[in-house]
Amino acid sequence: TAFRGHVDDARGMKEIEALLEKGFIPLAGNFGIDGVIGSVFNYNDKLPGKLAWVVGTYDPVVAGTTTPLTILDLEKSSDESGDLQLMRALVSRTSAPDVHFEPFPEASVIDFSEEALRSMNGRWGGKGRLTLIGDAAHAFPAADGQGGSQAFEDAIVLTRLLEQGPKTTIDKVLEEFEVSRMERVTKIHADQTQRFANASKGKMVPWPQDFMSWVFKGV
């Protein structure tokens, strides 16, 4: 079960301001509590203080009793970094109408291994006048929201190539699209796979500045 919410402006929170200045909020993991996972996401540079958060648990919940704060239980945590306190502070700052409850849906296991993104002669499987974008082409683990980001990038790059007009065949345009995206998608996919594994162990760390700048620069 997951709860999600957002804080319209976290810049007034002393504990968060230093993190906001870095441009990335390094709060993710299980916060020292088995069966719990949480993350914080920035929106974009135009909304510097607006943050979204997700708190989930695999334990049974009681409607009307279980809340994000009861999940983020200080007494159950072995966290000594202070991240749990920051996460609780963000959740506490969220007004009730902005907190949403979402049961985890029944789902089959998705393969996030490198084999799921194996290069097929520099492409990810399109053939002829057919291509794939987003999770259909390269499913990402839920670490930093890069699955959605890379889907948008796919759409942007593909649109640019199609806008060039009939300089070549559609088949060649789609081949160029996949080949041009493969290196960036593969690098970010590898990073997100590792960060997802670390988050489940409560070991999430910030991106290096140069890598973060490269990712955020986009396409």
Cα–Cα distance measured from residue 28 to residue 170, given in angstroms and rounded to the nearest whole number: 42
Confidence of residue 202 (pLDDT cuts 50, 70, 90): low
128 or 107: whose pLDDT is higher? 128
The segment with the largest mean pLDDT, out of 13-17, 76-80, 112-116, is: 76-80
Per-residue pLDDT tens digits for 188-198? 998 988 888 88
Classified as helix, coil or strand, 125 is coil
Task: List the chain domain ranges.
Answer: 2-102, 114-217
Nearest in space to 88 (alpha carbons), one of 103, 105, 76: 76
Residue 107 in this model has a pLDDT that exceeds 50: no
Q: Write the pLDDT tens digit of every residue in 43-66.
A: 666 777 788 888 888 888 887 788
Whole-prediction pTM: 0.58
